[in-house]
Amino acid sequence: MRKPKPKSYQLIRGMKDVLPQEDARWDMINKTAEKLARSFGYDYIETPILEDTNLFVRSVGEHSDIVEKEMFSFTDKGGDNVSMRPEGTAPIIRSYIEHGMIREMQPVRLWYNGPFFRYDRPQAGRYRQFHQFGFEAIGEIDPIIDAEILLMTNQFFKKLGIPISIQINSNGHPECRAKFIKAFQEYARSKRSMLCEDCKKRLLKNPMRIIDCKEEGCQTVASSGPQIVDHLCEDCRTHFTRVLEYCDEVSIPYVLNPRIVRGLDYYTKTTFEVWAEGEQEAAQMSLGGGGRYDGLAEDLGGRTTPAIGVALGLERISLKLIDRQIQKERPDIFIAQLGEKARRKCLGLIDALTSEGMSVVSALSKSNLKNQLEIANKKAAKFVLILGQKEIVDETIMLRDMDAGAQELLDFRKAVEEVKKRVQAYGVLVKDLKESGLTK
Ligand code: HAM
């Protein structure tokens, strides 16, 4: 009897494979993010994917879309209610409190990068598992730190050559917001018939959500209603003015946008989103978002700890780079060989070269030299080392500079040392050319 064909499996709806074709883009985004974070003195933090569900209920908000509709939550085998993190700020503050980071020099500057989960309606740029990296500066109330976060955000997109605008607003602190909500609720009630069904429900529980609803009727209601900036107290207004002045100082491309109220409850004062330049507001899928959350640590059982941060979405940024020809990093060396003896020696050579920090590609299972050189070309290796039968006997190895087309014979015992010198010289040359603007 024939064996039944096994079932084939597909991705779960809303999930996405990051395929090798995206490698160059992802690598560029990740490396740019890490370099930026480290150059501004941010330390890496990694919190677990699973957290107590209540952590998000208490921080992101019971009536937020994330908590009401989008969390992957379940009861674990021990009976605890846990959720796969939908965002990174609340877990980081949990960790800050739990590990007594308040005793360290403030602000504590942290950065992170990893997967997050929201049971969202999937489409291009919106997934149920997505990746964010973010920067959080915890323990400082001065508006100059808001400017630092905005500066980093802007610098990141400048480095990648993605034109953006930072849509900025102030949510005030809870007292300002309470006054605004009352005024807005009264106004929106008078326009109830224009609201979508979701927003009719939001009118009572969470009227702020009407402001960032994408439905046309709700947008009309929101744009002609009261604005939160007109309800800010003196302290919140001064803070906001300072942030904008600092942004002007470093030419951050911001746009005042009263509709940026954000979908997470913990925000206070400065709030912002990163929008790709030239996209219609209705089609907007923000590339990033952030703001101050001065009350979050206290809400989670810690001491009063003002803080601000931003998170940027990798998938959406990657989509913005899709038409770019991003060069993968060239391997330093390709090793080609002929014959079993040479092949054996190559293993040791690869070990020695990679141990010295060089990147090495090979096709040791192939025996045809022409095929191997074709692969070396395809991989755009800077140098090719060729070890044939003659070289084995002479204890030499051939080094070919692929850009110059020049070849030289090296003493096999000195090969690693000599190749390292060539690779380093190549690095210096590329750096000089870049600095002189002759190459990218
Ligand atoms: P958020 O605006 O909810 O903020 O998310 C930040 C970014 O994550 C979005 O701008 C977007 O690029 C990306 N993102 C969100 N949901 C999805 C999705 N379903 N698919 C693909 N990308 C998505 C936060 O999460 C806050 N924790 C940001 C923050 C940090 N505030 C202060 N510090």
In whole numbers, what is the pLDDT of the chain averaged over residues? 94
- Name the pLDDT band for 280 (thresholds 50, 70, 90): low
Query: Taking 60 as the threshold, does the pLDDT of residue 254 lie above it?
Result: yes
For the segment 294-302, the average pLDDT, to the nearest whole number, is 98
The number of the ligand 1 atom at minimal distance from the alpha carbon of 87 is 25
Distance (angstroms) between ligand 1 centre and the Cα of 363 equals 42
Percent of the chain exceeding pLDDT 90 equals 86
- Angle at 71 (CA atoms; ends 66, 72), nearest 5 degrees: 165
**Structural domains of the chain in order of their starting residue, each with its CATH number:** 20-173+233-320 (3.30.930.10), 333-434 (3.40.50.800)
Instruction: Please check whether residue 419 is in contact with residue 408, taking contact to mean a CB–CB distance below 8 angstroms.
Output: no
Distance (angstroms) between ligand 1 centre and the Cα of 179 equals 27
Rounded to two decimals, what is the model's pTM?
0.92
The number of the ligand 1 atom at minimal distance from the alpha carbon of 313 is 12
For the segment 127-146, the average pLDDT, to the nearest whole number, is 98
Supply the residue whose CA is at minimum distance from atom 14 of ligand 1: 313
- Angle at 256 (CA atoms; ends 250, 260), nearest 5 degrees: 115
Distance (angstroms) between ligand 1 centre and the Cα of 288 equals 6
Ligand 1 close to Cβ of residue 136 (< 6 A) = yes
Q: Quote the tokens at residue 77.
A: 């085998």
For the segment 62-80, the average pLDDT, to the nearest whole number, is 96
Ligand 1 close to Cβ of residue 310 (< 6 A) = yes
Ligand 1 close to Cβ of residue 91 (< 6 A) = no
Q: Name the most confidently modeled range: 4-8, 138-142, 192-196.
A: 138-142
Query: Taking 80 as the threshold, does the pLDDT of residue 281 lie above it?
Result: no
Supply the residue whose CA is at minimum distance from atom 13 of ligand 1: 313
Query: Taking 60 as the threshold, does the pLDDT of residue 440 lie above it?
Result: no
Helix (H) / strand (E) containing 307: strand 307-313
pLDDT at residue 206 in the model: 86
pLDDT digits (tens, 9 = 90+) for 321-370: 998 888 888 999 999 999 999 999 999 999 999 999 999 999 999 999 99
Query: Taking 90 as the threshold, does the pLDDT of residue 283 lie above it?
Result: no
Instruction: Please check whether residue 327 is in contact with residue 87, taking contact to mean a CB–CB distance below 8 angstroms.
Output: no
Torsions phi, psi of 385, nearest 5?
Answer: -105, 130
Helix (H) / strand (E) containing 389: helix 389-394
Bridge partners (DSSP) listed for residue 130: 116
pLDDT digits (tens, 9 = 90+) for 99-111: 999 999 999 999 9
From 130, 148, 156, 310, give the residue whose CB has the most ligand 1 atoms within 8 Å, as the site to mutate: 130
pLDDT at residue 146 in the model: 98
Query: Taking 90 as the threshold, does the pLDDT of residue 205 lie above it?
Result: no
Supply the residue whose CA is at minimum distance from atom 16 of ligand 1: 126
Alpha-carbon distances of 208 from 66, 202, 299, 404, rounded to whole Å = 14, 8, 20, 63
Percent of the chain exceeding pLDDT 70 equals 98
pLDDT at residue 180 in the model: 94
